[in-house]
Every structure is written in structure tokens, then in C-alpha cells.
A and B are shown apart, each in its own frame.
Chain A
Amino acid sequence: SQQGEEDPQALSIQEGENATMNCSYKTSINNLQWYRQNSGRGLVHLILIRSNEREKHSGRLRVTLDTSKKSSSLLITASRAADTASYFCATDGREGGSEKLVFGKGMKLTVNP
């Protein structure tokens, strides 16, 4: 089963608006990552936040992490039509030394021009 769950599952906004998506997970983690996937393509890494960090910025991206609530949020500011994609959170399933990433179901973002 997948550990991360993104919320909402779909979001439609106008260009220039901000988009916020949330991710909840179940077990303790070392890191949480966000990936983007354009339709029919592979995933692209966006940003990583470590368990001892609370907030991180990269360009128009801002990610927060609350380990007490086992949740993260990704904010995309001043959205563009090119941001239209699916977004996934991923956590490192460190049980037994595993180095696999466990992905959520994803959130589909549509940015209307």
C-alpha cells in the first residue's frame, strides 16, 4: 500500500494564483520529497525536505514539514500554465534499511491561462 496521501486529489486554478497541496504519511521518515509528472511522462524531482527541517524554499516552491502531524505541504506561488501536471509526495521507507521511495496517489493540478 502507498504511504503518502495527497490532498486535494485535483485542483484547478487560474494563472498567477497560488496552489497548495498537502501530503500525509503514516510512519516515521528521514526525508520527504516532491515530484512532478507531466502527462504520460516520467517523474521529475522538485524539492526535498529533511525530517529536521520545517520549511524549505526553491524558486516558486515552498515546502513545509510537520513531523508531529506526519504531514507536508507544497506551495507553488504565481502559478503558470506550464505548472499543469500531477504532483506526488514520496517518503523513504527506511524499515530494515530499505532505500525505496514510497509515493502517494498524487494530485492533479490544472493551471488555466
Chain B
Amino acid sequence: DTGVSQDPRHKITKRGQNVTFRCDPISEHNRLYWYRQTLGQGPEFLTYFQNEAQLEKSRLLSDRFSAERPKGSFSTLEIQRTEQGDSAMYLCASSLGVGATGANVLTFGAGSRLTVL
């Protein structure tokens, strides 16, 4: 297992364009998380899935953001009509959930850095 993979690692786009990021989690992990991180800040929660079900979405998340995990494996995060304020690192993480251990430890990918010009 190669861990959590994210693609692309870097994306530069013009304002108004749509972008899509992909995340491939650790295969046996049924939870998948998306976070956004701006310079000098901690990761900000966007949404998470348990298998293919999207269980929670941040109230701060614009309607321009949508995430899917159609078969409970990989996930995509799409941002429509990008704005300069969307420039950030988009981090994906996966986990087994709280489960038997009572603790939810996340394994993160390297992130996808978005620059909106």
C-alpha cells in the first residue's frame, strides 16, 4: 500500500475556471476526509465520507464546492467558478474511523496546491 495519493500535486488556473482534484485513500480505509489549508494556518475541515456516503459538510463551504466518492474508494473534489480566495492546499486524508480503538487517526496525502490567478 502506497498510502494516500492525491492528483494533481499542483494546479494553476484562471479565475472562473473549474478544477477537480482526485484522492485515492488507503484501500482498507472507509473514511475519507477533505481539508483546506492556507499559508500559516491549520487544516480546515471541508467534508468527509464513510464509504460512499457524504456524512458531513462544513457550513462554511460554498455551493461551488462539491465532493463525491461514488464507489466508496477514490474521491473527487470539484471547485466550480474558481475565485482567488480558493487558492490553498487541498488535503485528503483517510482512516478506519473510531472503530474498536475509540480514536480516529488520519493518514494524509501530500496535498494538491491550487493557485487561482
Contact = CB atoms under 8 A, between A and B. Distances in A.
Nearest to B91: A42
Contacts, number: 73
Interface residues of B, number: 30
Interface in B95-117: 97-98, 102-111, 113
Interface in A30-71: 30-31, 33, 35, 40-45, 48, 50
Contact of A30 (B35, B45, B56, B102): B102
Nearest to A101: B106
A103 B42 CA distance: 6
A43 B43 contact: yes
B103 A43 contact: no
B108 to A, nearest CB: 4
Interface in B48-96: 48, 50, 55-56, 89, 91, 93
